Amino acid sequence: MKERGVVALCADFGDFPSELRAEDLAAILPKTNSIHAKADYPSGQMDRKTYKRHIKLAIDSGFDGPISPIYQDADGTWERIGELCEATLEALSDSYHHEGHEKHTKG
């Protein structure tokens, strides 16, 4: 049964300036119920390493809620969302394998 009147906190990666994002996310993630995961695209290419580091920050903070990959620009939306999903699953897999977790992602 769905709860009524619940207020939750969503960590939206895009709400934080890129130069402070890791620090700001580290502060908010332990209190977060969901994530809107966005990547930066310097020179038109996804900054995959930084994006995966932010996903790892979430896992390391104990986050266990939904992660919604979001791409908001106009070009190649579905390709970019696929890229975000792939990088998210890689980061989750790397984190769980590295720490010996037995969790599995839904697919």
**For 22-40, how does the pLDDT look when each residue is reduced to its tens digit (9 = 90+)?**
999 999 999 999 999 999 9
- pLDDT band at 98; cut points 50, 70, 90: low
Q: Is the pLDDT of residue 41 over 60?
A: yes
Q: Is the pLDDT of residue 82 over 60?
A: yes
Q: Is the pLDDT of residue 70 over 90?
A: yes
pLDDT for 83 equals: 96
Say how many CA atoms lie within 13 Å of 19 toward its Cβ.
0
Q: Is the pLDDT of residue 103 over 90?
A: no
Report how far residue 50's alpha carbon sits from residue 18's, in angstroms, rounded to the nearest whole number.
10
Say how many C-beta atoms besides its own lie within 10 A of residue 33's C-beta.
Answer: 14
Q: Is the pLDDT of residue 104 over 50?
A: no
For the chain, give the number of residues: 107
Helix ranges, the chain (H): 21-28, 48-60, 77-98
**For 49-61, how does the pLDDT look when each residue is reduced to its tens digit (9 = 90+)?**
999 999 999 999 9
